[in-house]
Structure 1
């Protein structure tokens, strides 16, 4: 069992309960504990502060947390739970409270919109802020209307591949290792997607499905354009130590022209998880800015997206 728990951030909304189901399955796959965290709303925090300030013993010691009751009813007596399930109520702003508690987490899972989000929002402000600042990988599970995998919600996970957005020269080892570890516990493939910026041939259809190539297929690449051939070679070199570390994980490689975020969004339609780096590794490890690719994929992906921070200077 992993000592680091999977944290599910909940607020009682249907979006957060989808994320809780995903986190439950992730904790089972990793053999880790599940910590369910709810950041109390402002009125509850104000009540607690007022009671403390006035020392009013006639008032209840704690403000009722209806989310706790709902989670207890949802999970109470249920089978298929990880060993070690805890619930905590947190105070403070949502991004800051989750940033603090995420310091010791295997990953932090949350919905793409919270209870207070407008229906038209693709990504809520708290989800965006947590993905940009948490010291651990953050998995954002899209709401049902945006997900093409809604039928898999009961299972909590899709059976598809893990898709890794890779810039061979810049993506942190932390990001690559996370993708391989997730594929290993799921018994699935890592599909590595890299893009290159060249004008496409007149006969090329940009929106057509891209081809994926297993490592053994790289020997015969006479038909590949030079940029594609070089990208595949760079991928192969960069992935070599991870193939050694995870010998049972099958790898598919794709090098395609065009926009990286757009390709990853397309791949998310059938993926169990899309993994991207939080920001350019030449920035500081705790940079508050999220990269353009991660930002776009979070807003438009059809399935769960893991945003992995760069925690070490390894590139």
Structure 2
């Protein structure tokens, strides 16, 4: 699994887009593709632990097999020489995908699943795996609802100085280089507005002094990566606060957003920060959520 991209397959339009995106990425990065469909057999068990009739199980397996066959055909229509494996375990999707994420390169999911409630922008499986996955998790979002997933534009990364965002920066350079795309590095030195604490009365702040210092720090963070990836064109963006708004705006032109799962303002133990939550719910391009390394 170490050189494979895992894709959750459930037959939804969002999952089909996820398969296409993952197939293109696997082909570009010379990874294998592992298509997974969880049968949800637990839903057919009765309260006393008795399984439902076999007449229910066989059609469920046949339908699952067809979903995987269709997903493999979709992937091969993108890149016919892909190394593709499939699996149809009886486990529920969330614990299954989280377990697979322990060794996968990344897990790729559609922005809404077959069982998403009407009006929900992100399915429950996608939200849970993005929160608990052990490797980078990609939520494949279209430019507009019901539209196409963007394949052009820059890779955008959010940087706030936290260890998790440093990991996101490394991933973003790698993704931009592999896609021959420019990189937009957005840095926010605060993710809380003064109005949140003081109402409409803002404290006098020497923004020019702070901005110059933050520009210097951002240049330092990027310098080593620009030396490693000299072919990547980098554009720097600074915002004073609320990075989610700026990142959502940039998602309208981006082909991929890369963020850490939690920023420097996150509470200890928080699984998914407010910025990453907002992006997987509302971004207008795929979102790659980078999880912290163990112990960080």
* Structure 1 equivalent of residue 109 of structure 2: 110
| C-alpha spacing 1:97/1:3, structure 2 compared with 1 (3 Å) | closer
Q: Is 1:292 aligned to 2:289, yes or no?
A: no
For 1:96 and 1:133, locate their aligned partners in 2 and report how far apart those are by CA, in whole Å.
Answer: 9
Q: For the structure 1 residues 169 and 136, does the alpha-carbon distance in structure 2 shift closer, same or farther, using more than 3 Å as the test?
A: closer
Unaligned segments of structure 1, at least 5 residues: 200-223
For 1:88, the equivalent position in structure 2 comes to: 87
- Number of the residue aligned with 2:151: 158
Aligned counterparts, 1:126-275, within 5 A:
126-142=125-141, 145-146=144-145, 150-151=147-148, 153=149, 157-197=150-190, 225-275=208-258
- Greater shift, 167-176 or 20-29, is seen at 167-176
Q: What does the per-residue CA deviation read over 1:240-276, in whole Å, with 9 as the maximum and x for residues that have no partner?
A: 2212222221211100233101110111111111001
Find the aligned partners of 1:172 and 1:254 in 2 and give their Cα distance. Answer: 15
**1:237–1:139 Cα change, 3 Å:** same
Counterpart residue number, 1:72: 69
Q: Which runs of 4+ in 1 moved over 6 A?
A: 58-62, 281-285
In 2, distance between residues paired with 1:65 and 1:283? 44
- SS of the residue 1:90 aligns to: coil
Task: Note closer, same or farther for the CA distance 1:235–1:108 as it changes in structure 2 (3 Å cut).
Answer: same
8 Å CA contact 1:37, 1:89 repeated in 2: yes
| Shift, 1:106, TM fit | 1.0
Asked whether the 8 Å contact 2:182–2:233 carries over to 1, the reply is yes
CA gap 1:99/1:288 in 2 versus in 1, 3 angstroms: farther
Change in CA separation of 1:146 and 1:60 when aligned onto 2, cut-off 3 Å: closer
| 2:80 maps to 1:98 | no
The alignment yields a C-alpha RMSD, in angstroms, of: 3.3
Equivalents in 2 of 1:119, 1:60: separation in Å?
Answer: 27
Structure 2 alignment gaps of length 5 or more: 195-206
Q: More helix per residue: 1 or 2?
A: 2
Aligned to 2:286: 304
Cα distance in 2 for partners of 1:85, 1:256 equals 42
SS in 2 for 1:129: helix
TM score, norm. by length of structure 1: 0.77
Question: 2:78, 2:285 → 1: CA distance?
Answer: 25
| 1:184–1:143 distance in 2 versus 1, CA, 3 Å | closer
The Cα shift of 1:99 comes to 0.7
- Shift of residue 172, structure 1, vs aligned partner: 4.0
Task: Say whether the 8 Å CA contact 2:16–2:71 is kept in structure 1.
Answer: no
**Contact 2:160/2:263 (<8 A) preserved:** no
Distance 1:124 1:191 in 2: 28
Question: Once the 2 structures are TM-superposed, how far is the Cα of residue 190 of structure 1 from its aligned partner?
Answer: 1.3
CA distance in 2, matches of 1:85, 1:46: 32
